[in-house]
Structure 1
Amino acid sequence: MNDPAFDTLAPLPARAPLATEPLGLLGSLRAARSNLLSILPELAVRQPMVSGHTGLRWHMIMEPRAIRRVLLEAVETYPKSRATKNILRPAIGDSLFIAEDAHWRWQRRAAAPVFSHRNVMNLAPVMSAAATRSAERIAKAEGRAVDMLDEMVRTTFDVIAEVTFSGEGQFDAPAVHRAIDAYIAAAGKISLFDMLGLPDWLPRPSRFTSGPVVNEMKRVADEAIEARRIRGAGDVPDLLDLLLAGEDPETKRRMNTSELRDNLLTFIVAGHETTALTLAWSLYLCAFDTEVQDRARAEAQSVLSGGAATGADLERLPFIRRIVDEALRLYPPAGILSRTAQAPDTLCGREVKRGDTVMIPIYALHRHHMLWDDPDAFRPDRFSDRKGIDRYAYLPFGDGPRICIGASFAIQEAVIILATLLARFRFDLVATRPPEPVMILTLRPNGGVWLTAEPA
């Protein structure tokens, strides 16, 4: 717990300005289209719940017991909001991320074994190889500034493309990468219809620009899936092999081509974008605090002995893992979760009506003055005792039955890549190009993360 009146006097890493006065419907729309974080009121980091009415009733909850109710105890009452589904369904259909009720449950049961500890560890060599290639590209910059956001997006896409469609000659990875970037840019332009939760069949301008790239992305994925059905699995099964072999243990149902494609595209979009952001913010924070960086480098160099990190090294890199955890606290990729109440309820002593939007602003939760000491400060060692952190005060991957299925994959990848890079380079900030936390679909460093890298 922290005294709300106390703030650290040390310099703080990049923060998003929060709203200090009501925005209204049109103001909220303008803010949402440029930076969703700017709709969060300053009160959200100091109070357990904030409510309002901007064309629809909404509530933001930052109290861990209320969050536990929404995500775990009364999860059927709080499905994902219509706005979330409207934005993402054109690209990823009724995949795990979108589906509800029985359709979600059977897919989750079928996909869960894909991300078992053994399967994730089997994919670690792909992550180590991608980390090595990234280090080689950074070395070629020879001290010139590098946008580490772009570099990490490339690196994590290399990983997800290989572990999803390994050895599939027909899979055009660059084309899918371009399509994903184009879709995120178009879909991120939130419409007034989305904010009001209007039906999905009403046209959105962004659909006209994103439609062709989404169709191409689906076509490429469908062709790769059919080719794999013919070729069969490789010696080390990748995600597609595992999904093709997966079935719901209760119903014995397996995914058809469109279901496989929607879930694979979900894993591709989420699996590289969010991890890339985590790595970019982690490198920024290490450059921001050189003492933390030096300590992390010493740990990495003592473990890696000049090579890339491997899956077997993870347990011996606890401080680097804490840097990743702290980066996810300060800059959670999913900065806001949104749900729609399906029945009357009470949260934090306040009435919630059927149809109300209930938001969990993860960005504000992770910086709440009643839950964290020096909430805006970069302090990886706050994660040295995980038992001392309230389970529902730290939610980079959500929680409850819908907790991110790929969380262990993402953490393993982030630690392997971060340790490999920190062991080889000393990173410094480019003072004239500071990153700005901006959330559209995910919380990105607007302008990139520009760093110089010198051999360590």
Structure 2
Amino acid sequence: MQALPVRVPLVNEPWGILKSLNMARQNVLRIIPEIATLQPMVSGKTGKRWHMVMDPGAIRQILLERVDDYPKSVVTKNLLKPAIGDSLFIAEGAHWRWQRRAAAPVFSHRNVMNLSPIMTSAAERAAQRIAAAGPRAVNLLDEMVTTTFDVISDVTFSGGDTFDRDAVHGAIDDYIAEAGKISLFDILGAPDWIPRPGRMMSGKALKEMKGMADAAIEARATRGHDGTPDLLDLLLEGVDPKTKRQMNTAELRDNLLTFIVAGHETTALTLAWAMYLVAFDQGVQDRARAEAQAVLGDRAATGDDLDNLPYIRQIIDETLRLYPPAGVISRTAQKPDTLCDRAILPGDTVMIPIYALGRHQQLWDNADAFDPDRFADAKSIDRYAYLPFGDGPRICIGASFALQEAVIVLATLLARFRFRPVPGRDPEPVMILTLRPQGGVWLTAERV
């Protein structure tokens, strides 16, 4: 029987509201019923009506055809607004549209490729740190968090502005750990003005972080930039072509913090899970190493290598199927609708459990198995069966940035090391805001 990588045990019995709350605070994915991997849609009531949708046609309806009728859920906004304000990630309607138009050129193919040398340098430093650790086990989760934060810091503040990177990193982690835990008030749909205790505790660190970001933005606006423009330069120059509006300091800061949080946390997790999976399957690792060594030799990967590393990219795609950083997309229905012949009422919570979608038995053969060859012909996969970056107008604006970075780092490391798992130290998939390998990804690294 084929060995399978770690997975979350899904629910096989009905739970009451208090047990659901307790499990959600420990691991959001634990509230997904097992039948969500078998059926096109599952509905219930836990304080308020909810629906989990796994049918690709219905998902297309939510994310593309009737996107304005399904704004981000109140729970999502309550969790994130204190940290990232009314930025692209949670803004709605006209306020979202003008910000998206202003920011879209920032992530053009040309601009993302121009930032690839920063990713290459960070991958090189990661390889040097792993080599220096010697034969002892290394926590690749910590290494990948360090690497991707190096990248996002350098592409955001390349001029060395007065921005305390460690303080910002610490404030973000503290906020996710404390404020990201779902409150009973969220599940019951209580108004925003009712205080959520954990989120109140995080206020001081957030205030300091926003103050540092504001100071750095104003300093850069005064000084200007030299050389290749970084993320902050591009945002400062960004103009909505329709309204000619530019972001003010608060809007720039909120979007910058959004990119810092999303741009390092999610890519770090993808890389950490990818490292776990290639250590889990040595055959896949051998094949990926052969590809990486043939293309790279002794050097680190660059943006120009991406088209020549298709199997490494398939590993990243398969990792995102099994362990999507955003394990659940949540929306609140605004108008009556019908999904999978089921009535949707205004106020209903409509969830797309990306974790269950990627493991759905009707959409994927041997769904819990690690098999990068599923993505050898990506066009054969239903667009709405695989959604690590969402889809429709609100598809992740930084998807190409994240994929480029992940391939560069993974190829660089696999070309130089053989990674093996540490017995008894398998990670546990746990999602609060993102799907993390709890306990770390402990591997030994041997030079090849």
Superposed pair shares fold, TM > 0.5: yes
Whole-angstrom CA distance in 2 between matches of 1:346 and 1:192? 28
Whole-angstrom CA distance in 2 between matches of 1:224 and 1:363? 37
Return the offset for 1:431: 1.3
| Structure 1 letter corresponding to 2:26 | S
- 1:168 and 1:228 in contact (8 A); partners too: no
Question: How high is the TM-score relative to the length of structure 2?
Answer: 0.99
Return the offset for 1:165: 0.7
Structure 2 equivalent of residue 263 of structure 1? 255
Whole-angstrom CA distance in 1 between matches of 2:303 and 2:396? 20
| Structure 2 letter corresponding to 1:21 | E
Structure 1 equivalent of residue 318 of structure 2? 326
Whole-angstrom CA distance in 2 between matches of 1:291 and 1:246? 46
In structure 2, runs of 5+ residues without a counterpart are none
| Structure 2 letter corresponding to 1:169 | D
Structure 1 equivalent of residue 189 of structure 2? 197
Return the offset for 1:198: 1.8
Structure 1 counterpart of 2:287, from 267, 280, 295: 295
Alignment map for 1:121-270 (pairs within 5 Å): 121-270=113-262
Structure 2 equivalent of residue 277 of structure 1? 269
- 1:397 and 1:407 in contact (8 A); partners too: yes
Structure 2 equivalent of residue 4 of structure 1? none
Whole-angstrom CA distance in 1 between matches of 2:187 and 2:217? 35
Structure 1 equivalent of residue 375 of structure 2? 383
- 1:168 and 1:224 in contact (8 A); partners too: no
- 2:288 and 2:414 in contact (8 A); partners too: yes
Return the offset for 1:208: 2.4
Q: How many positions carry a matched residue from both structures?
A: 448
> Given the alignment of the two structures, is residue 39 of structure 1 paired with residue 31 of structure 2, yes or no?
yes
Structure 1 counterpart of 2:21, from 18, 26, 29: 29
- 1:146 and 1:451 in contact (8 A); partners too: yes
Structure 2 equivalent of residue 83 of structure 1? 75
- 2:106 and 2:234 in contact (8 A); partners too: yes
Cα deviation, 1:257-297, whole Å, max 9, x if unaligned, reads 00000000000000000000000000000000000000000
> Given the alignment of the two structures, is residue 351 of structure 1 paired with residue 349 of structure 2, yes or no?
no
Cα deviation, 1:2-60, whole Å, max 9, x if unaligned, reads xxxxxxx3000010000001112111101100001100000000000000011100000
| Structure 2 letter corresponding to 1:176 | V
- 2:47 and 2:187 in contact (8 A); partners too: no
Return the offset for 1:356: 0.4
Secondary structure in structure 2 of the residue aligned to 1:329: helix
> Given the alignment of the two structures, is residue 286 of structure 1 paired with residue 274 of structure 2, yes or no?
no
Whole-angstrom CA distance in 1 between matches of 2:210 and 2:284? 43
Return the offset for 1:168: 2.4
- 2:333 and 2:347 in contact (8 A); partners too: yes
Whole-angstrom CA distance in 2 between matches of 1:16 and 1:380? 20
Structure 2 counterpart of 1:401, from 374, 393, 396: 393
Whole-angstrom CA distance in 2 between matches of 1:141 and 1:167? 30
Whole-angstrom CA distance in 1 between matches of 2:398 and 2:388? 12
- 1:330 and 1:376 in contact (8 A); partners too: yes
- 1:49 and 1:348 in contact (8 A); partners too: yes
Alignment map for 1:302-341 (pairs within 5 Å): 302-341=294-333
Structure 1 equivalent of residue 105 of structure 2? 113
Whole-angstrom CA distance in 1 between matches of 2:199 and 2:355? 28
Structure 1 equivalent of residue 407 of structure 2? 415
Cα deviation, 1:229-252, whole Å, max 9, x if unaligned, reads 111022100000000000100000
Return the offset for 1:195: 1.7
Cα deviation, 1:362-382, whole Å, max 9, x if unaligned, reads 000000000001000000010
In structure 1, runs of 5+ residues without a counterpart are 1-8
Return the offset for 1:187: 1.6
Return the offset for 1:202: 1.1
Q: Which runs of 4+ in 1 moved over 3 A?
A: none
Return the offset for 1:174: 1.0
Secondary structure in structure 1 of the residue aligned to 2:385: coil
Structure 2 equivalent of residue 101 of structure 1? 93
Whole-angstrom CA distance in 2 between matches of 1:165 and 1:439? 29
Return the offset for 1:121: 0.1
* Deviates most, 306-315 or 179-188: 179-188
| Structure 2 letter corresponding to 1:47 | Q
> Given the alignment of the two structures, is residue 373 of structure 1 paired with residue 399 of structure 2, yes or no?
no
- 1:332 and 1:363 in contact (8 A); partners too: yes
Return the offset for 1:172: 1.1
Structure 1 counterpart of 2:47, from 47, 55, 67: 55
Cα deviation, 1:184-221, whole Å, max 9, x if unaligned, reads 11122211111222222210111222111111110111
- 1:335 and 1:442 in contact (8 A); partners too: yes
Whole-angstrom CA distance in 2 between matches of 1:169 and 1:263? 17
Whole-angstrom CA distance in 1 between matches of 2:20 and 2:191? 20
Whole-angstrom CA distance in 1 between matches of 2:62 and 2:270? 26
Whole-angstrom CA distance in 2 between matches of 1:187 and 1:284? 28
Secondary structure in structure 2 of the residue aligned to 1:392: helix
| Structure 1 letter corresponding to 2:312 | I
Whole-angstrom CA distance in 1 between matches of 2:57 and 2:308? 34
Whole-angstrom CA distance in 2 between matches of 1:55 and 1:181? 30
Secondary structure in structure 2 of the residue aligned to 1:11: coil
Cα deviation, 1:156-195, whole Å, max 9, x if unaligned, reads 0000000001122311111111111111111222111112
Quote the RMSD (CA, aligned, Å).
Answer: 0.7
> Given the alignment of the two structures, is residue 433 of structure 1 paired with residue 425 of structure 2, yes or no?
yes
